[in-house]
Structure 1
């Protein structure tokens, strides 16, 4: 049973905080948010309120504000493992980008080759056209 002072707004903020900690936010800007950057205003926005909904001046808000601070402190204490995860994510992203770069380079080379072939054909056609033009003048 929740205390009498526990409002629907606070319940929404609790759910929002849990979504953020689980890495499953519903606000697109919060996707991939580092827990060390978690603030009361972010939790408020995730819950569907404005940035200033959670305030230290409201006694009912103090427990959730303490949870937010505790989760930030946890993240800072576990920054080594977080940095390792971040490095793994960045390495995977780098591999994808290197693959994409190789594909784009191959496409570029193919297009350049086609352009050179077309240029050669145009040059040959121009020579034939000049030759035909000069032959037409000789017959006149």
Structure 2
């Protein structure tokens, strides 16, 4: 009875691991952001804390979870075109917004640089005028 109890604990661990992967909350760092079209029994086994070969088709008790894994992978493959299309569209929209923001920021930068150059030129004029006034005052006093 102990062996079947251990097997059910292992199977429960694999079920929980599969759920974590599907929920996007795996504990194994390599499984974070996993493309579900790449989901395999070995990935679920590793996520559950077992070696890659824990889940086997030859074990009848493993067949249901193996079927779930296959179904998830098939579903991801089926929908990957539209899913990838949505991701691409969202990224393109984001790119357009970033390009507009970049153009606005560049325009603001150019305006500020122009103002700074005008201020610098005015300061140079005033410094030159001040020097000329000092030299006139010195000549007038002598």
TM-score, normalization: structure 2? 0.62
Shift of 1:127: 1.5
SS of 1:20's partner is helix
Q: Note if contact 2:45-2:52 (Cα within 8 Å) is conserved in structure 1.
A: no
* Partner of residue 8, structure 2: 6
- Residues matched between the structures, number: 130
Structure showing the higher helix proportion among its residues: 2
Deviations, residues 32-59 of structure 1 (Å, cap 9, x unaligned): x4322445447745x6x5xxx3422454
Alignment correspondent of 1:106: 107
Match of 1:73 in 2: 74
1:56 corresponds to 2:53: yes
- 1:123 Cα offset (Å): 1.6
Offset from partner CA, 1:60-91 (integer Å, 9 cap, x none): 79554554444233322322212222222212
For 2:25, what is the secondary structure of its paired residue?
coil
For structure 1, the residue ranges without an aligned partner over 5 or more in a row are none
Aligned to 2:97: 96
* 5+ long unaligned stretches in structure 2: none
